[in-house]
Structure 1
Amino acid sequence: MGPGRQPLQTPRAAGLAGVVFALLLAAAIVLVRLGIPEGADGVTPQGFTDSTRRDAVRAALDLVPFAGIFFLWFVGAVRAHVGQVEDRFLATVFLGSGLVFTATLFGGAAAAAAVLALADPSAAPPPLPAWDFGRHFAYTLLTGYAMRMAGVFVCSLSVMGHRLGVLPRPLSIVGFLTAAVLLFVSSNVPWSELVFPAWALAVSVHILVAGGRNRSRDEPTASSAPPAPSAPPV
């Protein structure tokens, strides 16, 4: 860094990215569960003709790209809050799991969009093998792989937050419980995926509050300001 240059500060809006991500992902999960309450095994081309259910799933898929974008901003805000991490193993697992989660989320959403296009009532009935493969592929990516990568992301951040003391102890414990649910329960229990956006919302609020305290502490007060220089004697 050149002389006289100040390091870039993380914008306050980056902390809000986690809040937006949590709300978008939660809305997408709720819409998918309302549109396909029986899961992948209960969806057939002939039964998926209700326009309300199709519109709910389409709305959820429209929210996913924006949720992924805000998630990347959320990862940046978390890294800025945690600071320099000496344990490169944990830092690599944290960043890698976040990127894989985003890629898997996008892949599952794209596969679900393709399946939804096959179920368009105005088109010819899709071949049953293609329909079965597409719906199970999309559902497995979203509820299996994406949520498990989210569990690794939550677990690695909770470990770093506990070791470095940048996360409160209750929030770290909640993170470990959230990771356990995402790793072992979410693929079999409907609606359990909502623990991830709930955890992200809690972490984002903590980052915003902590960032506000640090900014107020760093701002110079009137009493600490240096006295103005007196005029030279005539």
Structure 2
Amino acid sequence: MREKRPRQRVLETPGAAGLAGVVFALLLAATIVLVRLGVPAGADAITAQGFQQSGRRRAVLAALTLVPFAGIFFLWFVGAVRTHVGAVEDRFLATVFLGSGLIFTAMMFGGAAAASAVLALEAPTGATPGPSVWDFGRNFAYTLLVGYGMRMAAVFVCSLSVMGHRLGVLPRWLSVVGILTTLTLLFVCPNVPWAELVFPGWSLVLSLHILVVGRRARARAAASS
């Protein structure tokens, strides 16, 4: 006779977890806007002296302050999305989805840390960093955030859109929007300013969809009981 194992409790995802995606989208959008206001035309378009003599430094510092919180809410957003999608038989797509999300978070933190390090060099003395330090820091941070980070965001969006379409948990129009977002992040984002906003925009739409679907499911469950 087989021994009866104690019944395990399944932890339910709180309904507020869906709000994490909304908060993440707003924080990331605010970060991108502040960075674009501070460095409007890219890393090569501003010198250290010009950066210090304007309000651009304050805008970038405000953006860097928001990055850790955006990363925290993004991890909650990933958890909410995985709960919404449910069990995935395709381990390849599930691994790519989770891995790209974690790499995106690491690149966002790495780029923010690099930018913060460059800005902190002049804090003790009030002097601007040397040209070589400034050039390396700004290009490294900008490339990590925009060039590579948004490419990982594209992989994240693409894998989730394909999984959602195959499992039928995402409407067709939302999967199509995800593919268009992927193409924009892959090919348009590095060359067109403000194109990065499509990622928080997609995240906001997806989060609102998850919240609406979850509310309808809870309403049906309450009516049936």
Is TM (by shorter chain) over 0.5?
A: yes
Per mean C-alpha deviation after superposition, the further-off stretch among 182-191 and 18-27 is 182-191
- Superposed displacement of residue 38, structure 1: 2.2
Alignment of structure 1 residues 82-231 onto 2, 5 Å: 82-118=85-121, 120=123, 122-221=125-224
Are 1:48 and 1:119, in contact at CA under 8 Å, matched by a contact in 2?
no
Q: Unpaired segments of 5 or more residues in structure 2?
A: none
- Superposed displacement of residue 114, structure 1: 1.4
Corresponding residue number in structure 1 for 2:77: 74
Identity %: 73
- Superposed displacement of residue 65, structure 1: 0.4
Q: 1:16-44 deviations in whole A, cap 9, x for unaligned?
A: 00000000000000011011112100121
Are 1:49 and 1:121, in contact at CA under 8 Å, matched by a contact in 2?
no
Instruction: Tell me which structure has the larger Cα radius of gyration.
Output: 1
Corresponding residue number in structure 2 for 1:232: none
Are 2:100 and 2:152, in contact at CA under 8 Å, matched by a contact in 1?
yes
- What is the CA–CA distance in structure 1 between the aligned matches of 2:119 and 2:193, rounded to whole Å? 20
- Superposed displacement of residue 120, structure 1: 5.0
Q: State the SS of the aligned residue for 2:55.
A: helix
Give 2:95's aligned amino acid: T
Corresponding residue number in structure 1 for 2:12: 9
- Superposed displacement of residue 218, structure 1: 1.4
Q: Unpaired segments of 5 or more residues in structure 1?
A: 225-234
Are 1:45 and 1:119, in contact at CA under 8 Å, matched by a contact in 2?
no
Per mean C-alpha deviation after superposition, the further-off stretch among 181-190 and 91-100 is 181-190
RMSD (Å), alpha carbons: 1.7
- Superposed displacement of residue 220, structure 1: 4.9
Name the structure where helix makes up a greater proportion of residues: 2
Per mean C-alpha deviation after superposition, the further-off stretch among 122-131 and 112-121 is 112-121
- What is the CA–CA distance in structure 1 between the aligned matches of 2:177 and 2:5, rounded to whole Å? 42
- Superposed displacement of residue 4, structure 1: 4.7
Corresponding residue number in structure 1 for 2:38: 35
* TM-score (structure 2 length as normaliser): 0.94
Aligned in 2, Cα 1:44/1:23: closer, same or farther, shift over 3 Å?
same
Q: 1:108-141 deviations in whole A, cap 9, x for unaligned?
A: 0011111222355952332211111111000000
After TM superposition, the runs of 4+ consecutive aligned structure 1 residues lying more than 3 A away are 1-6, 118-122
Alignment of structure 1 residues 21-60 onto 2, 5 Å: 21-60=24-63
Are 1:61 and 1:113, in contact at CA under 8 Å, matched by a contact in 2?
yes
Are 2:37 and 2:56, in contact at CA under 8 Å, matched by a contact in 1?
yes
* TM-score (structure 1 length as normaliser): 0.90
